[in-house]
Structure 1
Amino acid sequence: MKIFYRSKQVYFYILLCIFFLIITTPVILPFFYKGYFPTHDGEWAVIRLTDMYRELKDKQIPPRFSGNLNFGYGYPLFNFTYPFPYYAGIVIYLLHFGFVNSIKILFISSVLFSAVSMFFVSKTLWNSTLAGFISSTAYVYVPYRMVDLFVRGSLGESLSFALFPAILFCVIKLLRTGKDIYGIFLAILYGILVQTHNIMAIFFSIFLLLFILGSLFYIRYKSIKKIVFFLLLGVGASAFFWLPALVEKKHILLSYVPITDRSLYFVTFSQLFFSKWGYGAPASSDGFTYQIGIPFVLILLITLIVLISKKRSTIFNTVNTQALVLVGITILFFPLLFKESEIVWRLPFLSEINYPWILLGMLGFLLSLLSGFVAAKPFWRFVAVCCVLVNIFLVLPHAKPQYFVDRGDTYYMTNDATTTSSNELMPIWVKKFPLRRPENKAVLIKGRGLVETEKLSSRRITFTANLQTDGVVRINTIYYPGWILEGSKRSIAYDNPQGVMEIPLSKGMNKISLVFKETLFRSVCDLLSLFSLFIIAVLFVKQIKVLKVN
């Protein structure tokens, strides 16, 4: 009997794998073509991956300051830009896939894993295998996901779509079973989300808070304490990234000059249904679509009908309460797309977000979950299937890039732009932006003598200066906190229009090394992350022992 049961399980998971391949293949197929395709951010992701590789090769751990970008003048890219997708990309690159293919594999993985994680969370949430199939399919074909993959090319957002259902699954299992193993995975996945996309992490955290508060109707207080503990572990594990990014934002242009005018990027009601599909920038004549899709709106309306028609005695059972909470959050998020909600976007954290339409991703996640709820109701099952099929029919023609290019890895490795839209991570003391690479890294700007660069990397610059008189050497690297003179307590001057480092030297032979190190504050953040990871590791080992005993 046990053998029969196990065989049945094996066949089910084989069929499940086939299902995932069938629903995702039309979406991921363009990534298997040779070369790549232009998107707003996709090719920047390849350049960033090549730069992280350089920084890790230079033993700059964790990577924070690029020595190659900004025309070789340096740029604090990974001190502010989400790093996890590129850590994952490095692992893939080390398996000999190349830089372009590594980024493409990450995009493919985001689609596959999002389908898998959505299946399991919907199946668990609604106690229905069919709900899992419907939600998974709906999630893959959310219109905004086609925009993310083939127009915007946002790697962080795409990977966030895979993390949302996985994190929610861990929360639900922890609420229902109280088992710490789910809490451990919750801490790991939430920590990864914070490092994967800052804005998506903010939206999902708001959702998670509301979902947990809504769950107070049917769960124990002890379970809430566990969730908070493991979420804090995830926050601590990612502290090496988000804490310096938050505190040191005062050093960069982004703290003074917004990337764009938020008022231009609100969505109109009609655009949710009928905006055209384009490949251009948002708000332009050929801009990308803001559609949420008529089938998804129907799903929301049907969910409301189902809940309203419930008897008072059954409306607050577990499944219906969960649906009520999700509907409530969806209705709460929808108005934030429109200009009338502008005052809300001035609140802390939300004021950092420039594009309200980015909420379309979160709404797609919520509506995909609700499609599973509708599918779990026998009377509405056929309607749910039809909604998903109609959505596929409407979205599938747009699951393609505008055109393909084959530039090769070398093109991206030699590109030295800042990889940011408005150079917003430039230190505020830089008044004159670089336009070309410097001829020499170390230049004598005052005095007489000979200067030669001996070692050059993202974390170390060594040069010799044989001076006939006292002089000043300019290092054509922008100063950023962390650069120090090795073996000296002297501060580095950078009060010049270029914001580059200048060092006064005495007559004679001088050998100077500048090293980029972690500041005291960053070191404390690193230790907090290591301590959190240590606790997670200890708890994980403990759980493995418990599982072995059981």
Structure 2
Amino acid sequence: MRRPRLSVVQLSRLFFCLVLTFISCKAYFHPGVPDTHDGENHLARFANYKIAIREGQFPPRFAPNLYHRLGYPVFNYNYPLANLVSLPFSIAKIPYHFTFKIIMFSSVFVAIYATWLWLTKLGVPFWGRVVASTSFAASPYLFQSIIFRGNVGEVMALSLILCWLLWIEYSSDRKTVIEQRSLLSRIFSPESVAGGSILGAFFLSHNVTVLFATPLILGWSLWRQRNTQDGLLRTITALLFGLGLSVWFWIPALAEQSSIVVGGSALAQQYAQHFPTFRQLVSSSIQFGYSYVGSVDSLSFALGLTQLGAIGCSIGLVIADRLGKKHRQTKDQSTFLIFFIATILLTLLQTTVTHSLWQTIPLVRFIQFPWRLGLLALIANTFLVGYVFQRNIAWQKYLLVSLVVIQAVIMLRLAPVGYINKPSLHYDLFEQSTTTSNENLARNFTFSELGDWQPVPTVLSGQAEVNVLSWNGSQRSYQAIVNSPALIAEPTMNFPGWQTTIESNSTSKPVSYEDNQLIGGRIAYHLEPGTFTVHSQFTQWTWPRVLGNALSLLTFATVLCTVASLFFAQRREKHDS
């Protein structure tokens, strides 16, 4: 049986989206990676994720070599999707910077291609899709995320949101004869598994984006499928699958917040001082920079010429419709109004005008920067660009075409502030924390002698001789010959999950950790006189991790069984026909 070939139209569409991706990611076609806010941090996380797996952590939660070799629980709290995707490349010994480029380029391409298909499903005409996709690819927010901020997690989240929006449209088109399918077959349908996989990946892509985007995209999903029983069932099932696939990360990340200092970090407390002004949203120089406390920033928060033009045209359309002007009505006028309102609200929410509203939002302090809502505003605005062409008002179309050309030229002239091209070993031995304010430090960690790390325990009091048998960042064994009661400290940050046992005279027992000003939050314990073999290992044995891992494993097994069942059912159907 011949495999279906791509048509000329499909190939042309792929080629166009690929060209737009090259435009957005042109800075990555250069030796090394752009010098960005987060780029090197991600490379170091790629390295430590591989090292943690190699040392027996699964899933990794404690980065063995970060924070001056003392270890750092960054993986327990920060989005793991990019690290998971990097693993095959790291195992194949592909340089981390090249892996970063592959992930970023692929994510941007998926985002642009999904945008095109999504707009097609919403009835946007061809030239509307061309201009809207170009405005998306050349938007200041996306460009800065790629070449100035280097936030690969946020770009992955953006692409997965668009995949979910596309899934909603395909799922809505899927006509199911309810009487001919059992409830079980509708729950474990190909659409539910696909949607659950998209949501599962999205929930692991970027913490802040997940927290603020999830209510919006689920609300849109339920509204879009409100008239179809099967559509609602597929959405709910996909949500449950997605949650199940991601709770191995989210249950520990939320339940173990009290173990780290994140709630009291500077960024968590200063979100209210990072609101852009209206002037910054309308016009600010697009260049490498940072978001500072107050209204003086070097990072641009500009919406973009095309984005501003789309808002202006949409306001005109709303006013014209309300005044009774005769414009051709589209099939789904309410969709336009929803995205128009979403664009306006998501833009206003980035400014101080809505500060009082922000204070009522749960978990608001964890967004750190309100201007991150620009990512969601960009998606809504992209539809508005396409909708202008759907309304077919000539002067508005010419205006947006002119603006998108100017915007694309401006973006093409942007260049990174510099490039970094370091060997992989540099990131294997990376000693910083990879977080902005060290917000994942263990709450009781105060040890300050960071430059004198050695892979050997220290005898803080008493008399003892220590001989190391084996050592790495996740587990170690050593012999301790204790002559008088001794306080032993390992050069590792103490964090829930570490377990130390001592063996003596063929008996084994766990130790109780201690802490004081001298210990400073390291792994430490007392030993009485004697000869001991000591084993320390980072484990998954906390109730949030056990629960999260078990639920995700069960969900993953269910998804695999469903996929296998659907595959063999399809094979049987083809064989019978």
TM-score (norm 1): 0.92
Q: For 1:376, what is the secondary structure of its paired residue?
A: helix
Matched with 2:550 is 527
2: CA distance, partners of 1:118 / 1:10: 20
> 1:132 and 2:133 equivalent?
no
> 1:296 and 2:294 equivalent?
no
Shift of 1:338: 0.9
Bigger helix fraction:
1
2: CA distance, partners of 1:356 / 1:331: 15
Q: For 1:270, what is the secondary structure of its paired residue?
A: helix
Matched with 2:250 is 242
Task: Summarize deviations over 1:101-127 as a string: whole Å, max 9, x none.
Answer: 111211111221111111111111225
Matched with 1:506 is 528
> 1:106 and 2:106 equivalent?
no
8 Å contact kept, 2:133–2:382: yes
8 Å contact kept, 2:484–2:529: yes
User: What is the letter of the counterpart of residue 298 of structure 2?
Assistant: G
> 1:172 and 2:187 equivalent?
no
1:397 paired residue among 413, 420, 424: 413
Count of aligned residue pairs for this structure pair: 543
**Cα–Cα, structure 1 residues 149 and 76, in superposed 2: closer, same or farther, change >3 Å?**
same
Matched with 2:64 is 67
User: What is the letter of the counterpart of residue 507 of structure 1?
Assistant: P
2: CA distance, partners of 1:204 / 1:315: 32
8 Å contact kept, 1:203–1:362: no
Matched with 2:473 is 458
> 1:335 and 2:344 equivalent?
no
Shift of 1:283: 3.0
8 Å contact kept, 1:60–1:458: no
Matched with 1:488 is 509
**Cα–Cα, structure 1 residues 488 and 362, in superposed 2: closer, same or farther, change >3 Å?**
same
**Cα–Cα, structure 1 residues 374 and 437, in superposed 2: closer, same or farther, change >3 Å?**
farther
2: CA distance, partners of 1:58 / 1:415: 17
1:368 paired residue among 374, 382, 385: 382
Shift of 1:203: 2.5
8 Å contact kept, 1:72–1:437: no
Matched with 1:441 is 456
8 Å contact kept, 2:305–2:404: no
Shift of 1:308: 5.2
Shift of 1:434: 4.5
8 Å contact kept, 1:300–1:367: yes
> 1:386 and 2:364 equivalent?
no
**Cα–Cα, structure 1 residues 298 and 405, in superposed 2: closer, same or farther, change >3 Å?**
same
2: CA distance, partners of 1:446 / 1:44: 37
Task: Summarize deviations over 1:4-23 as a string: whole Å, max 9, x none.
Answer: xx77x521222223212322
Task: Summarize deviations over 1:35-60 as a string: whole Å, max 9, x none.
Answer: 22211111111111111110011120
**Cα–Cα, structure 1 residues 433 and 532, in superposed 2: closer, same or farther, change >3 Å?**
farther
Q: For 2:291, what is the secondary structure of its paired residue?
A: coil
Matched with 1:349 is 363
User: What is the letter of the counterpart of residue 150 of structure 2?
Assistant: G
Task: Summarize deviations over 1:202-245 as a string: whole Å, max 9, x none.
Answer: 222132133235436x6224422321221121012100101111
2: CA distance, partners of 1:264 / 1:364: 23
2: CA distance, partners of 1:206 / 1:85: 23
Shift of 1:249: 0.6
Matched with 2:183 is none
Gaps of 5+ in 1: none
1:409 paired residue among 385, 405, 424: 424
Q: How does 1:159-198 map to 2 (within 5 A)?
A: 159-177=156-174, 180-198=189-207
Task: Summarize deviations over 1:240-287 as a string: whole Å, max 9, x none.
Answer: 101111111111111233425122210111111211223221138661
Task: Summarize deviations over 1:59-98 as a string: whole Å, max 9, x none.
Answer: 2000001221111111111000111101111222334421
Shift of 1:99: 1.2
1:540 paired residue among 563, 568, 577: 563
8 Å contact kept, 1:315–1:321: no
2: CA distance, partners of 1:520 / 1:407: 40
Q: Percent sequence identity over matched residues? A: 20
8 Å contact kept, 1:448–1:468: yes
> 1:56 and 2:53 equivalent?
yes
2: CA distance, partners of 1:512 / 1:457: 14
Structure 1: which 4+ aligned runs deviate by more than 6 Å? Answer: 311-317
Shift of 1:316: 8.9
- Which region of structure 1 is more displaced relative to structure 2, 278-287 or 450-459? 278-287
2: CA distance, partners of 1:476 / 1:144: 42
8 Å contact kept, 1:160–1:193: yes
8 Å contact kept, 1:175–1:219: no
Task: Summarize deviations over 1:277-330 as a string: whole Å, max 9, x none.
Answer: 232211386611100023212212323444555589999975322222211222
- Which region of structure 1 is more displaced relative to structure 2, 482-491 or 352-361? 482-491
CA RMSD after TM alignment? 2.5
Q: For 1:446, what is the secondary structure of its paired residue?
A: strand
User: What is the letter of the counterpart of residue 438 of structure 1?
Assistant: W
**Cα–Cα, structure 1 residues 178 and 51, in superposed 2: closer, same or farther, change >3 Å?**
farther
